[in-house]
Structure 1
Amino acid sequence: MPEFDVEGLRLTRDGDLEESTGERNSYNHIFILSLYILPIFGGLSGKLESRDFFLITRSRWFAEKMIAESPFSSLDHATSFARQLWFKESRIQSWLDAFSGQSHLYRAIAHAPGPMMREMLHWDRKYRAKFGFEFVTSTETWFSQKILDEAKARYENTLVVELDIAAQEEFKLIEHGLERLWERLTFSQIQEASEAAGEVVPDSEEKEDVVPSGGSEEADFAAQNVSMLSYDLNKTPEENDYPYSGMSPEEKNAWHLAMWATRYLNP
């Protein structure tokens, strides 16, 4: 296990710093695929799991603390708690664990022109050899020249300074990850509400099935327009009567959300 003792601060990390290019490519491909596959086989159905936060930042300690605090009342609540957790309570090892899931300088090589690729690979190895962790930046990987310049400038930092900068950059990525997680959770809730609303069939809609075959599309379109025109989205569900006869409060809210989704999510 390599050890780094710079200015009295000792950092350790598992594995060899100089792993092969093939091993790094394999790791990157598996990690990127997991971002797309895991939400499909489990995803977010309104209940958060530890792996949802682990995919945001590769620190098990951070993920477990976040899931222990959940559910969060809002995105701001989640972000505020994460900020306190990350900067005030996280151990350095937790930061290093999170950094290990990043390889921004290495990934930026794929977007670099030919002559720059070798130079970026050189600085990727040089940076890790000095600091003992991956280069972390919130700059998009396709800005290869900007990332290379940033790595060169930050290489001159002391370990203490660079550790702080890397933590700041990692938290920017955490914030972005929380935003995407919250969007998926919100979308999942809208889908569930829409499906629940689809199970409720008002009497007025049941009668629309009996129409001449040639005019079915026109009748469906007209019925949808009548429903939307009869519902005021500026009012609460209780202030709107149609088509609420016989619905429970939960069914009313589900129908309201489904109508909103129909208008704004599927124009």
Structure 2
Amino acid sequence: MEDFLGYHSEWNLGSPGGWDYQRITQIIGKEVWNRLNAIRTIGVDLDFDHPLLYPINGFVEMLLEAYRAREGRNPGVIAVVAEEETLEDVTENVNLAAKLSEIDGIKGVLLAPHELEYRNGRVCHRGRPVSLIFMDFNTDILLSLHRKRDLSPLLTAVREGRVINPRGTEPINVKSTFELITGSCRNRFHPETVRRTPWTRKFHPRKTDGPKGEAIDDLIEWTRKRWDGLVLKPERGYSGKGVRVGGVHTDVEEAIGIAL
């Protein structure tokens, strides 16, 4: 085990997604570890239940603290607002709303932005005032959606300071940040952080350096020749959409075409 090297695959600063994935990973990992030890005792104690590995709980506490600052101990609604097409498929937002509803006096709801309404001087959902909103998309998407449908109630909530939107951490909340860690800025990070970060480069026609420091004159052509050992994935995204894995998706030209 001393030679084991673990890698993180994502830094997700702006969404409960990365945090809930961590929780789910611990549940799966614990079950697999127990089954392996049932087959053969490994003799290593791993704490899958450490609070550090369940950051979603801290995130809920942060939302509750913001709610209490506005509403005190009064009951009310905290809304998780996400794009309509993601409501059923993005499990972490479903889990977040359910987790909020476990708090005494709090109703957590998951909804699309156009489901908010303005009644009697308050932003509401189905007639109930909404005290706090976690918005799981960035400002560009908000404005784009507003051009298609009237999202005035949500914009009113923004003006009232009721919207929490960590997507404001972009552009650092994107996968291309890994290039800073594994590229020219590597000396600014702890050696273990660099060591455990997958080599990453923003994909476009360019010169750069490879995983072993070798010169790459044409990243596109270099990718073609080494596709079996590479992954192309969107800078922003979720649930594996748009991801192409060498050795699994054998058509490298399709993968390159999607990426570009």
Bin for the TM-score computed over the shorter chain = under 0.3
Give TM-score scaled by structure 1 length: 0.24
Q: Which has the larger radius of gyration?
A: 1
More strand by share: 2
The structure carrying a bigger helix percent of its residues is: 1
* TM-score normalised per structure 2: 0.25
